[in-house]
Amino acid sequence: MESFVAQWVNDSDRTPQVREKVYLVGGGPGDPDLLTVKALKLLQKAEVVLYDALISPEILNLVNPKALLVSVGKRANNHSKKQHEINQLLVKYGKQKRGVVRLKGGDPFIYGRGGEELQALIAAGIDFEVVPGITAASGCASYAGIPLTHREHSQTVMFVTAQCKNSQENIDWTSIARQNQTVVVYMGLLKNDVLAQQLIAYGRCPNTPVAIIENGTTRAQRVITGTLGCLTEMVEEQQVISPALMIIGEVVALAHQLDWYPNNQLIQHMSKMKPVYKLREAV
């Protein structure tokens, strides 16, 4: 079977019908050049695009000018629509068979609630397809010059979020604080103090390098480097705003050597305070 992209390139009149399905599409972390070819083709054909707050204006400019653009503006602690309302909208437009693209930041299956939206479509008997996107961890790390793994520093990468549906009590801090591991924290800005305290309490050294990447892969990208023990001070003093991603681990030390992105504002945070931390109490 000819691939989706090959069909598109070979004969634009015989392009696949986008009308019969809802396409759950990852829009990447911000830079429109990081869209996949398939995502771009679908956006150019779509008749309805439901998009999140993190989708950049540059990406929206690539959408079929005749398409209906529906903002569902989801942001942490500031949901303009509740998840069940978004699901209802998807089902509503999906039933109209109007070439619907559900455009989400990064990858739809990484902290994107893509699974929940597909379950709603299944319950309504609507067909779908998933188009992965470059997730913030990958995009931001690349544009910050931080390799998530490196044979000399880190063999494991862990993605974690500070936003949990239920209680945070079940978080496995022992695994997150493991040595020689890179930890990438999504939606962690508001919980940075708990994060730093717990990682240190569970054994991660307060001097572990940390980077906060704000507006990664965009022209406004800032990368602030420092140490785990000073994470809260970094967020406050540098007045970090959302969206921001944190990377914790020895690989962060390479950011100054591998800095390549021309728009990158790389800031080495100089701590004014002694890091405050305590060791985990013996159990």
* 52 is an active site residue: yes
Nearer to ligand SAM, 121 or 144 (CB): 144
Q: Which of 177, 136, 148, 135 is nearest to 250 (CA)?
A: 148
Interface region with ligand SAM, contact rule CB under 6 A, candidates 64-72, 89-97, 102-110, 144-152: 102-110
Whole-number minimum distance, CB 168 to ligand SAM, in Å?
Answer: 16
**Binding of residue 32 to ligand SAM (CB under 6 A):** no
Q: Provide DSSP, 110-123.
A: SSS-HHHHHHHHHH
**Binding of residue 248 to ligand SAM (CB under 6 A):** no
Residue least distant from ligand SAM (Cβ): 106
Distance of CA 36 to the CA centre of its chain: 15
Nearer to ligand SAM, 99 or 112 (CB): 112
64, 135, 182, 225: residue in contact with ligand SAM (rule CB under 6 A): 135
Q: Provide DSSP, 153-176.
A: TBSEEEEEES--SS-GGG--HHHH
**Burial category of 58 from C-beta neighbours within 10 Å (exposed 0-12, middle 13-18, buried 19 and up):** middle
- Residue 241 gets the label, from left (phi > 0), alpha (psi -120 to 50) or beta, of beta
**Binding of residue 145 to ligand SAM (CB under 6 A):** no
Q: Token digits for 149?
A: 């793994």
Whole-number minimum distance, CB 28 to ligand SAM, in Å?
Answer: 8
Nearer to ligand SAM, 134 or 177 (CB): 134
Q: Give residue for tokens 């990958």.
A: 138
**Binding of residue 187 to ligand SAM (CB under 6 A):** yes
Alpha-carbon distance 267 to 247, whole Å?
A: 15
Alpha-carbon distance 214 to 129, whole Å?
A: 31
**Binding of residue 87 to ligand SAM (CB under 6 A):** no
Q: Specify whether the CB–CB gap between 221 and 113 falls below 8 A.
A: no
**Binding of residue 217 to ligand SAM (CB under 6 A):** yes
**Binding of residue 213 to ligand SAM (CB under 6 A):** yes
Residue 222: which H helix or E strand, with range? strand 222-227
32, 94, 145, 243: residue in contact with ligand SAM (rule CB under 6 A): 243
**Binding of residue 244 to ligand SAM (CB under 6 A):** yes
Nearer to ligand SAM, 208 or 221 (CB): 221
Question: Which residue ranges make up the site for ligand SAM (CB under 6 A)?
Answer: 29-30, 54, 76, 104-107, 110-112, 135-136, 140, 186-187, 213, 215-217, 242-245
